[in-house]
Structure 1
């Protein structure tokens, strides 16, 4: 799971941040628009409501060492769900660059949508 921030606000709800969830098994990705200003609790509930219920409960989440992922609340939440949290480092063999490539593509798409004032929620 990676967070892309610093995007132009767009859509009716002025989203400016996107967590990207990459399924390592089938190489699919999920983009969930949200607000950079949202609290960790808001983001966890958003993830739960928009990903877990519709797709799956992850066995492991590999993310960077951002405080959004290392918070005690999140660690406890995922422990209760039976999900292991693994933290990556730059050029670490656990990461294959898939998420990074998807982030580059997503940033390009979202910036173009925002530049033309298009609505991107739900796409």
Structure 2
């Protein structure tokens, strides 16, 4: 995300109506693949867009808004892989309901090791 968008997100006040909330959620949805637990964070905000719910900003929703703002403005650095370097495959089969996995590759970014 470029610096102009980052500044705009940081200056944006909490939405005061459904239309503004939908705009925010659409913007966040565009970057959802880069936000850890995006659906969990925005769940209470999406509920505000329902016709059956009175639009009311609670502490939980305010916290969710601040978390999504933080995630949008402090996104992790995504780098293209180097196919000549090794990959690490992490697998989590701890629960009986599913299997989780992640493919990582350690690289040096700005003099710091990243995975």
- TM-score of the alignment, normalized to the shorter chain, above 0.5: no
In our comparison, the structure showing a higher alpha carbon Rg is 2
Larger RCO (alpha carbons 8 Å, 6+ apart) = 1
* TM score, norm. by length of structure 2: 0.28
